């Protein structure tokens, strides 16, 4: 399927995936205000022509030398390539409800924390989160599931789900009741964490008066550190990243100083509203946060052509700002290949050209 997206459809998909409802607010504690990055590096993308253009992924993942593409809409849903040469490995996950089929799968990039190749996938309508063995699936030509949990109805319409520990799952997404939920499948305990209050008291009071705007403002994405010791929630309408320990307590917050809060136009944010952290990629050393670096009007017109990737360490310190010379697709699909010193993105430039890579060799993170 070729990427023919109308701007309004792009916006609707992204918004509906990560829309949040409100609860009681809490005030953040340990805050790192970022005034500037010590290094700003301009990166020029090059097209990846070796990857097939017969599918269109909205999510990417990486496990060692395997690049994992997830195409939500088209069957099969998953496509694997060996990097850095982009050698095709296999496709799997046909659409359906059979034993070797998937229905509405999403993949937030979480892999099994072991030497073998495993990934966590979530089937939306079935509320099933599964740990899939990639190697055994390829060899057996059927889905080999190592662990599976059916999440309770209390998750509402959450779609962004991660496995935090044995039998413990965390998620957020559409029509939710807090920043995220924590579910213990062994004990059956389930709870929502309340939303955090913004530091701008006047703006927060404006949002509380309009619950619809508050829900929209609180949209964000959750990702887990590869060693499973922490997870983060990053926000779209504020350059804010909350870092939590695995029990769900807030360790600290990273926030850009003097950012522009959304402007209100009646019952909506106006078109000058900035779009910030739509996606993050986590390694054991760094937090890579992709900022749209554009306003709402440019985003709705698919004209965000200079995305930025802000890099922080796990102490909350800014490391560098990578400025890309092009945009990125809806849901901001990107991964960082620290071994081969590359960033891979999906960016539909034409029907035959919508995969890009950026070389990080000899930049501040990977100097020889």
- Angle at Cα 267 formed by Cα 263 and Cα 272, nearest 5°? 25
pLDDT at residue 2 in the model: 46
**Is the pLDDT assigned to residue 265 strictly greater than 80?**
no
CA 40 to chain centre: 23
pLDDT at residue 211 in the model: 67
User: What CA–CA distance (Å, rounded) separates 366 from 269?
Assistant: 40
Residues above pLDDT 90, as percent of the chain: 57
Rounded to an integer, the average pLDDT of 293-304 is: 87
**Is the pLDDT assigned to residue 229 strictly greater than 60?**
yes
pLDDT at residue 10 in the model: 36
pLDDT at residue 8 in the model: 36
pLDDT at residue 34 in the model: 95
What are the phi and psi torsion angles at 14 (to 5°)?
-65, -45
Domains of the chain: 7-359 (2.120.10.30)
Rounded to an integer, the average pLDDT of 251-271 is: 83
Task: Order across the sheet with 87-92: list the strands.
Answer: 59-63, 66-70, 78-82, 87-92
């Amino acid at each position: 399927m070729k990427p023919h997206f109308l701007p309004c459809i792009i916006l609707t998909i992204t918004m509906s995936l990560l829309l949040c409802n409100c609860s009681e607010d809490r005030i953040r504690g340990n805050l790192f205000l970022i005034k500037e990055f010590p290094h700003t590096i301009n990166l020029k993308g090059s097209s990846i022509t070796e990857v097939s253009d017969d599918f269109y992924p909205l999510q990417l993942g990486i496990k060692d030398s395997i690049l994992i593409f997830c195409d939500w809409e088209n069957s099969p849903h998953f496509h694997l390539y060996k990097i850095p040469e982009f050698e095709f490995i296999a496709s799997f996950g046909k659409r359906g409800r059979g034993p070797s089929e998937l229905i509405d799968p999403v993949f937030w990039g979480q892999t099994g924390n072991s030497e073998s190749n495993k990934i966590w996938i979530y089937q939306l309508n079935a509320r099933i989160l599964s740990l899939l063995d990639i190697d055994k699936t390829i060899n057996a030509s059927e889905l080999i599931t190592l662990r599976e949990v059916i999440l309770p109805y209390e998750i509402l319409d959450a779609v962004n789900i991660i496995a935090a520990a044995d039998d413990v799952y965390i998620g957020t997404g559409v029509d939710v009741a807090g920043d995220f939920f924590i579910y213990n499948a062994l004990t059956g305990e389930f709870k929502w964490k309340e939303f955090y209050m913004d530091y701008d008291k006047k703006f927060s009071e404006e949002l509380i008066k309009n619950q619809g705007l508050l829900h929209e403002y609180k949209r964000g994405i959750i990702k887990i550190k590869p060693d499973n010791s922490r997870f983060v929630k990053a926000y779209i309408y504020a350059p804010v990243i909350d870092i939590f320990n695995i029990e769900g307590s807030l360790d600290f917050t990273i926030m850009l100083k003097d950012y522009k809060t959304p402007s209100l136009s009646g019952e909506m944010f106006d078109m000058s509203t900035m779009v910030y952290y739509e996606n993050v990629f986590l390694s054991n050393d760094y937090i890579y946060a992709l900022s749209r670096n554009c306003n709402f009007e440019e985003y709705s017109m698919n004209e965000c052509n200079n995305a930025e990737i802000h890099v922080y360490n796990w102490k909350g310190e800014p490391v560098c700002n990578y400025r890309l010379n092009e945009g990125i697709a809806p849901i901001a699909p990107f991964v960082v290949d620290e071994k081969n010193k590359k960033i891979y993105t999906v960016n539909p430039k034409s029907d035959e050209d919508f995969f890009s890579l950026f070389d990080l060799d000899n930049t501040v993170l990977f100097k020889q």
